[in-house]
A and B are shown apart, each in its own frame.
Chain A
């Protein structure tokens, strides 16, 4: 089956697979979960923060990164690969501004990142990037945008998506609970609720960044996230109470 076709990247298998790219997607599936939700006038990115080791300075571990003032990226997979790709994207954002005197559109920078990821699936002696990314932001048309790229170099726009660990479960949750034209509070709540499906330990392992039409990235404080988590837990309790069978009359 896989056998000798999975070693070299530049070799198709008889059934049309590029095994290295498939294996890169496996690497992504091992990474911590990231979720993106697009509301009516806001975009929310949420990531699962791995438990910080005692002696580690948690401020140096950033999973949501700014590419330009109006573009934000979250990734799932190999962090080192992400660092390289993010650096390339940041340079491209400034280069675009220099040549065209205009900031990048979200689609442009997504296309660029996907293009870089694709290039590494067609060269000799290199391996694909082991990351999928969620890119969010606002263009000058003030419409919220959310895009996803993966190691094969494919990109598409999404209303809400999840990548990384248990992304299938989270995506199904999002499909069930996504509503069109949600406002800021509802979007944040949906993002946190979907992350709580994966993150058992609660608010301290969740990082949220939001962007509104003013194109300013806002990271939520731990206290704000805890407040929403408490709200969600209270709602869950109420649901559980309602679904409990009525106590029999004695």
Chain B
């Protein structure tokens, strides 16, 4: 199952996703992009039903972009997460709900604080210091509980993420390909090597 991670630090959020696309027992592709940049300081990762993930996240991406162009200002991560949750909630109460789990990582340029939101397909929303989706969560949340601090630096954050990935490599029955990691901070979103 697809694993997503998110860890907040002093002034950044680091996120990671496993880049494999799976169809039943076959590995279809490595290097799948499971993230979408909603605006210059907000990143969304998705997992779950493959088609639903792309469809939903692109829909959210376009609406957030429209807000930016209409109002000339970026929507804050909190507002983005609320909007996404609302869309998930409406979809849940429709004939065929979207089956996606999300992590929304953002840096609020007004308050200069990083934030991470955990959403699932039942439209739950939680503002958390660190989070994970998928089987990876079972192995790594305890690790994050033990080693995470609110004020870790970016380097420490990357090391912590490497610890989590290492744990998955040694304990999960499935082979874990390379994780793709992205950092969100006041300068925007960038790719990092794990």
A-side residues, CB < 8 A to B, are 66-69, 87, 90-91, 93-95, 97-98
* Contact (Cβ within 8 A) B69 A68: yes
Least CB distance from A190 to B in Å reads 28
* Contact (Cβ within 8 A) B59 A90: no
Q: Is the interface of A mostly helix, strand, loop or mixed?
A: helix
Is B178 an interface residue when CB atoms closer than 8 A count as contact?
Answer: no
Please give me the residue from chain B that is nearest to A97 by CB atom: B62
* Contact (Cβ within 8 A) B70 A90: yes
Please give me the residue from chain A that is nearest to B58 by CB atom: A98
Interface CB pairs A-B, < 8 A, 22: A66-B69, A66-B72, A67-B69, A68-B69, A69-B69, A87-B70, A90-B66, A90-B69, A90-B70, A91-B66, A93-B69, A94-B62, A94-B63, A94-B65, A94-B66, A94-B69, A95-B62, A97-B62, A97-B65, A98-B58, A98-B59, A98-B62
- Across-interface contacts of A69 in B (CB, < 8 A): 69
Please give me the residue from chain A that is nearest to B70 by CB atom: A90
- Across-interface contacts of A87 in B (CB, < 8 A): 70
The CA-CA distance from A95 to B59 in the complex, in Å, is 9
- Across-interface contacts of A68 in B (CB, < 8 A): 69
- Across-interface contacts of B58 in A (CB, < 8 A): 98
- Across-interface contacts of A91 in B (CB, < 8 A): 66
Q: Which 6 A-B pairs rank lowest in CB-CB distance, beginning with the nearest?
A: A94-B62, A94-B66, A98-B62, A90-B69, A94-B65, A66-B69
- Across-interface contacts of B59 in A (CB, < 8 A): 98
Least CB distance from A91 to B in Å reads 6
Least CB distance from A148 to B in Å reads 22
For A66, A69, A87, A98, the residue with the greatest tally of chain B CB atoms inside 10 Å of its CB is A98
Kindly state the interface size class of chain B when it binds its partner: under 10
B-side residues, CB < 8 A to A, are 58-59, 62-63, 65-66, 69-70, 72
The CA-CA distance from A48 to B49 in the complex, in Å, is 53
The CA-CA distance from A97 to B72 in the complex, in Å, is 19
Least CB distance from B52 to A in Å reads 15
- Across-interface contacts of A98 in B (CB, < 8 A): 58-59, 62
Given A87-B70, A93-B69, A95-B62, 19 further pairs, Cβ under 8 A: A66-B69, A66-B72, A67-B69, A68-B69, A69-B69, A90-B66, A90-B69, A90-B70, A91-B66, A94-B62, A94-B63, A94-B65, A94-B66, A94-B69, A97-B62, A97-B65, A98-B58, A98-B59, A98-B62
Please give me the residue from chain A that is nearest to B59 by CB atom: A98
Least CB distance from B138 to A in Å reads 35
Least CB distance from B9 to A in Å reads 30
Least CB distance from B107 to A in Å reads 21
- Across-interface contacts of A95 in B (CB, < 8 A): 62
Least CB distance from A109 to B in Å reads 13
Please give me the residue from chain A that is nearest to B66 by CB atom: A94
Least CB distance from A217 to B in Å reads 11
Please give me the residue from chain B that is nearest to A67 by CB atom: B69
- Across-interface contacts of A90 in B (CB, < 8 A): 66, 69-70
The CA-CA distance from A87 to B63 in the complex, in Å, is 13
Least CB distance from B62 to A in Å reads 4
- Across-interface contacts of B72 in A (CB, < 8 A): 66
Least CB distance from A65 to B in Å reads 9
- Across-interface contacts of A93 in B (CB, < 8 A): 69
Least CB distance from B51 to A in Å reads 15
Least CB distance from B41 to A in Å reads 16
- Across-interface contacts of B62 in A (CB, < 8 A): 94-95, 97-98
Least CB distance from A188 to B in Å reads 23
- Across-interface contacts of A66 in B (CB, < 8 A): 69, 72
The CA-CA distance from A97 to B63 in the complex, in Å, is 11
The CA-CA distance from A102 to B182 in the complex, in Å, is 24
Please give me the residue from chain B that is nearest to A69 by CB atom: B69
